[in-house]
Amino acid sequence: MQLPTLKIGSLLPKFPVVQGGMAIRISTAPLAAAVAEAGGVGTIAGTGMSLEELAAEIRQAKKLTRGIIGVNVLFAARNFAQLVTTAMREKVDFIVSGAGFSRDMFAWGRETGTPIVPIVSSARLAKLAEKMGAAALVVEGVEAGGHLGTDMPLKSILADIREAVKIPIIAAGGIATGAEAAKFLSLGADGVQLATRFLASHECTAPMNYKEAHVGVKQEDIVLVDSPVGLPGKAIRNSFSERMARQLSPEGEKCSTCLKKCSRRFCIFAALNRAQQGDLENGLIFSGESAVKIKKILPVEAIMEELVEGIKNSPAREDPQKDTIQE
Ligand SMILES: Cc1cc2nc3c(=O)[nH]c(=O)nc-3n(C[C@H](O)[C@H](O)[C@H](O)COP(=O)(O)O)c2cc1C
């Protein structure tokens, strides 16, 4: 199929491939810049960073590339507004809000000329975001890593949302190859977002044991945990997730009230941070289902090449006969 053109406001990446934001400090400047340099769209995850740290990350990314760099912030973060306005002041190319959005962020976007891209998982929220002024939407299915807003597969919500809105939509969740990306593009997505596939790259700054944990994962080792944010989170099974499943609260952590609302069952930022530091037993290892299909840690350039070639070599539309059993 022909590569579609992804438009986010006036931004026109060479390829319709977005690297999804990954907190805490999994998608930082080097990964985002490498994806942007390879012709895609890079995203720094601002959640869990101080305002100074986020500003420094954006500046570093801008030194590394002249490509498109956005910032993703979890709406549930207490300092959401400050992180978003800091990113806008640093002239980031676009903002993605994860797991929620508010009217005022669209006003800040209009004031600074920054496109706003909410992540949605239903036609109702997609329509609302379009009405409020979203430049594009990330549509995330249950296959995605991190916090989830749905238990529905990407394919079914994508169809509903494509019908409901006119703005560009970016399909996310479970995509690891060009052939899979092509499937969602042929269903009407204007672009695709991949996170876990880009995490398992040379340029991701997470420790090697963390990246290796996302390679060749068995389907039964991808689990849901109850995040204190109030949403399920998709992660790799380890002793921490097992403790969570048994409802045992981990050792009491000092609360920094980093979330607007929190069940206080455990500190999600601290748990993600432990994993990011390489503690794979006591940390929370967020991961998408795409980890099942990842065979190797690769340079971003090679990941992008496979994606682009895989899209180009795929048929233009899904074959309606594909699921038909023939006698
Ligand atoms: C380690 C990890 C951290 C994530 N952190 C965030 C985040 O901070 N904000 C957000 O909106 N989405 C987050 N996500 C979701 C991704 O941006 C992306 O949409 C999703 O994982 C896509 O599915 P895939 O990983 O199968 O490609 C995270 C995903 C992973 C794997």
Q: Which of 281, 306, 283 is nearest to 295 (CA)?
A: 306
Nearby residues of 325 by Cβ (< 8 Å), 6 or more positions away: none
Q: Are residues 76 and 186 in the same domain?
A: yes
Q: How many angstroms separate the alpha carbon of residue 145 from the centre of ligand 1?
A: 5
Domain extent for 62: 17-207+296-312
Whether 290 is in the pocket of ligand 1, judged by its Cβ within 6 Å, is: yes
pLDDT at 327 over 80: no
Q: Are residues 163 and 229 in the same domain?
A: no
- Looking at residue 326, what is its pLDDT? 47
Which residue among 286, 289, 292, 303 has the greatest number of ligand 1 atoms within 8 angstroms of its CB, and so is best to mutate?
A: 286
Measured in degrees and rounded to the nearest 5, phi and psi for residue 33 equal -65, -40
Q: Are residues 108 and 234 in the same domain?
A: no
pLDDT at 324 over 50: no
Each residue of 145-155: pLDDT tens digit? 999 999 999 99
* Mean pLDDT, range 161-166, rounded to an integer: 97
Is the previous residue joined to 325 through a cis bond, with omega within 30 degrees of 0? no
Measured in degrees and rounded to the nearest 5, phi and psi for residue 326 equal -100, 145
User: Is 6 among the domain residues?
Assistant: no
Q: How many angstroms separate the alpha carbon of residue 190 from the centre of ligand 1?
A: 19
User: Is 323 among the domain residues?
Assistant: no
In the block, tokens 């609360």 appear at 255
User: Is 2 among the domain residues?
Assistant: no
Q: Are residues 280 and 172 in the same domain?
A: no
Each residue of 241-296: pLDDT tens digit? 998 888 766 556 678 888 888 888 888 999 999 999 999 999 999 999 999 999 99
Q: Are residues 54 and 102 in the same domain?
A: yes
- Looking at residue 305, what is its pLDDT? 98
Q: Are residues 196 and 236 in the same domain?
A: no
pLDDT at 166 over 80: yes
CA 57-54-133 angle, to 5 degrees, is 110
Mean pLDDT of the chain: 94
CB 46 within 8 A of CB 72: yes
User: Is 94 among the domain residues?
Assistant: yes
Q: Are residues 189 and 111 in the same domain?
A: yes
Q: How many angstroms separate the alpha carbon of residue 320 from the centre of ligand 1?
A: 31
Each residue of 175-217: pLDDT tens digit? 999 999 999 999 999 999 999 999 999 999 999 999 999 999 9
Rounded-to-integer distance, Cα 174 and Cα 193, Å: 9
* Mean pLDDT, range 299-317, rounded to an integer: 94
Q: Are residues 36 and 166 in the same domain?
A: yes
- Looking at residue 235, what is its pLDDT? 97
244-279: buried (b, 16+ CB within 10 Å) or exposed (e) per residue?
A: beeeeebeeeeeeebbeebeeebbbbbbbbbbbeeb
User: Is 318 among the domain residues?
Assistant: no
- Looking at residue 261, what is its pLDDT? 87
Q: How many angstroms separate the alpha carbon of residue 74 from the centre of ligand 1?
A: 10
Q: Are residues 128 and 231 in the same domain?
A: no
Each residue of 217-241: pLDDT tens digit? 999 999 999 998 889 999 999 999 9
CATH number for the domain spanning 106: value is 3.20.20.70
Q: How many domains does the chain have?
A: 2
- CA 112 to centroid of chain Cα atoms: 24
Whether 193 is in the pocket of ligand 1, judged by its Cβ within 6 Å, is: yes
User: Is 274 among the domain residues?
Assistant: yes
Q: Are residues 194 and 114 in the same domain?
A: yes
Whole-prediction pTM value? 0.95
Whether 21 is in the pocket of ligand 1, judged by its Cβ within 6 Å, is: yes
Q: Are residues 242 and 258 in the same domain?
A: yes
Whether 67 is in the pocket of ligand 1, judged by its Cβ within 6 Å, is: no
pLDDT at 9 over 90: yes
Q: Are residues 245 and 227 in the same domain?
A: yes
User: Is 320 among the domain residues?
Assistant: no
User: Is 3 among the domain residues?
Assistant: no
Whether 41 is in the pocket of ligand 1, judged by its Cβ within 6 Å, is: no
Q: How many angstroms separate the alpha carbon of residue 324 from the centre of ligand 1?
A: 34
